[in-house]
Amino acid sequence: MPPPVDHDEKRRAIARIAADLIAERGLEAATIRQVAAIAGYSTTVVTHYFANKRAMLLAAYRHAAQSTQERFDKLAEACAADPLSRLEILLPLDDEGRRAWRVYFQFWPMADHDPELAEEQRWWSANALSLARSALCQAYPAIDDIERKAAMALSALQGIAMQALFDPENWPASRQQDMWQAQASLLLKEQNMTTSGERTG
């Protein structure tokens, strides 16, 4: 008797293959036929899990975002004493990070005219902002204006990521990390200046 089929795992495997194709060759390359061929399935199997290409592409986007979240959660345990360093996982420091960012960039133009994808993008952006907010609060328990500073931190991370993705030779992992630490120091400096001003006032 054959073992039971893990449908959730099959769905994840298809989404993972689609995400890999998008990262390597763009959205147009991630067709149902091509994904099925790589997975070793018939196109009927793929359409059993995803009614059309758009549904499969949305699953690929979610897979990339969820993979980043899983990596962040693992790093959070290892970097409990250095909460700002854990935010580095949001940067394209390695192959997996670059893969995720390539997927994101492919989807952003679509989100401009696709309400469902735009909502998905807003949700994950809010999630990233929450990660930044949590890390800053842990690093600086007395931090004020947290929403503004979390937005500044996320903007810095996204800016570094964009430059690193398009100019990898000049933006290796070490430079990305150095730049992020410099940005984090500016946030700390601003916080210290604010605190000092309150005390003297």
**Which domains, and CATH codes, for the chain?**
7-200 (1.10.357.10)
pLDDT along the chain (201 residues), means of 10: 71 95 94 95 93 93 93 80 85 94 91 89 93 89 89 95 95 96 81 52 50
pLDDT at 4: 62
Residue pair 48/39 in contact (Cβ under 8 Å)? The answer is: no
pLDDT at 191: 59
In 3D space, the residue among 184, 156, 165 whose CA is nearest the CA of residue 103 turns out to be: 165
pLDDT at 76: 77
pLDDT at 148: 92
pLDDT at 96: 93
Residue pair 56/112 in contact (Cβ under 8 Å)? The answer is: no
pLDDT at 45: 92
CA distance 141 to 147: 14
Residue pair 179/160 in contact (Cβ under 8 Å)? The answer is: yes
Residue pair 22/98 in contact (Cβ under 8 Å)? The answer is: no
pLDDT at 186: 85
pLDDT at 75: 81
Which tokens belong to 47? Answer: 């359409």
Note the pTM of the prediction, 2 decimals: 0.83
Dihedral angle, C-alpha 78, 174, 20, 56, nearest 10 ° = 70
Give ∠ CA 125-181-98 in degrees, rounded to 5: 50
